[in-house]
Amino acid sequence: MAFKNTSGTIIIDATLTDIGRRRLAKGSFAVSKFALGDDEIDYELYSATEDGVDGYEPLLTGSTLLEAYGNPLKGLQYGLVSYDISSATLTREQEDYDDDHAWIQYLPILKLNQKVDIAANTGFSGIDGDNAYYLSVNSETTQKLNTIFLTGSFKFLRTNDTDKAKVVIESGIDVIPVKAVVPPDTGESMRNTYETRKELLVSKYLLDQHFFVFADNRFIERALGINRKSIFRNFPDGHAEINFESLTDSVPISFQNQFQHYASYLIAGVNNYMSDFESSSSPLPSEAYSSLTGPKGTVTAMNFAVSGQLRDSSTGTRDFRYNKFGKTDQLLFDGTNKFDYIDTTVEVLGATSNARVLIPLRLIRYAGT
């Protein structure tokens, strides 16, 4: 359902789901709860430096409404969320100053990390706009890519591999936070330390300890997730301890998602202890390992297992899905070696923050010369 207030008149566009239509026909239809969302709004239109009334505000308030959709999983993809923050986390002075603040200053985001050695990289074909993670579907393709490139320079994924390159994702704050005092704000920047992590994320219950992964089951048969014993931290002397252990299988779960043909998986996250330790040097200590500018929350890593028929070697039968959903016999890296590939997208959702990030995947198969 969608509604819009236009010149004092509220326009309502309501589309019932199949269940809703059945209950309406039986006379038992009743609204018991609802959710709100803002899928239509492009917040990049907002500008903190210009006047809203004559600048960005008309663009935001005049956004075109999306058509109401009958599928309950697709009708509202970006619902508004609330966070239950216990008053026990507030000081008495803060509670007396303004209960409405709820004292959540920043919400975490999910961000891909390509800085650490174990992280796979994107964009090796030389094609403009190529930002995909390459996923080799068989050992023949892996050997061919390592022959074309200097071994180790092309950090690509390998199907069902638990130890080599992984997709690394961080959850945390991607701005340098400003210290809030009561009252008012001083504008003083906060260091990325264990204390600011505790203040802005841990005490607000904003750590993503788990992540939902949504992958197209026409191409991906399993997701592989991080081990709880994994470690991601640095030290004041500059060195870091990064050990994601061996990934473990994650089987599909019953959690519904809004994507057709997509299966859902649940993988773990571990504490992200990358810190700047009160340092003001440039670059900051955490920049060598973390993609986040501000306090870090958690981190996860993952890989994927490609569906069996897509793994056939160049001497086997090419699966029909390469023709139907992808491209075949493409000269991606040089003028000799041909590859088949299928592009797909994996979505990752923070179970606590509800933050999302997309992983563009290119399933690649060596096809011959």
Per-residue pLDDT for 350 more than 80? Answer: yes
Per-residue pLDDT for 365 more than 90? Answer: yes
Peptide bond between residue 295 and the one before it cis (omega within 30 degrees of 0): no
Distance of alpha carbon 199 from alpha carbon 188, whole angstroms: 15
Mean pLDDT of 45-71: 73
Per-residue pLDDT for 219 more than 90? Answer: yes
Question: Which residue, chain included where needed, has tokens 């040097």?
Answer: 281
- Do residues 292 and 114 make contact, with C-beta atoms less than 8 angstroms apart? no
Distance of alpha carbon 193 from alpha carbon 94, whole angstroms: 22
**pLDDT digits 0-9 by tens, 228-241:** 999 999 999 989 99
Per-residue pLDDT for 47 more than 50? Answer: yes
With a CB cutoff of 8 Å and minimum separation 6, the contacts of 108 are 171, 172, 173, 201, 206, 208, 297, 350, 353, 355
Bridge partners (DSSP) of residue 339 are: 330, 366
Give the pLDDT band of residue 53 (cuts 50, 70, 90).
confident
Residue 369's CB: how many other CB atoms inside 10 A?
Answer: 11
Residue 196's CB: how many other CB atoms inside 10 A?
Answer: 20
Mean pLDDT of 51-66: 76
Give the pLDDT band of residue 91 (cuts 50, 70, 90).
very low
Domain boundaries, the chain: 1-80, 105-369
Query: Which tokens sit at 35?
Result: 């959710």
Q: Give residue 15's pLDDT.
A: 73
Q: Give residue 6's pLDDT.
A: 59
Query: Which tokens sit at 15?
Result: 């589309």
Most confident among 69-83, 98-112, 173-187 (mean pLDDT): 98-112
Per-residue pLDDT for 287 more than 60? Answer: yes
With a CB cutoff of 8 Å and minimum separation 6, the contacts of 355 are 107, 108, 109, 110, 171, 208, 349
DSSP 68-128: P-S-TTTS-SSB-------GGGS-HHHHHH-GGGTT-----EEEEE--STTB--B--S--T
Mean pLDDT of 342-355: 96
Per-residue pLDDT for 342 more than 90? Answer: yes
Q: Give residue 10's pLDDT.
A: 65
- The residue among 34, 31, 25 whose CA lies nearest residue 80 is 34
Which carries the bigger pLDDT value, residue 108 or residue 19?
Answer: 108
Per-residue pLDDT for 192 more than 60? Answer: yes
Mean pLDDT of 106-133: 84
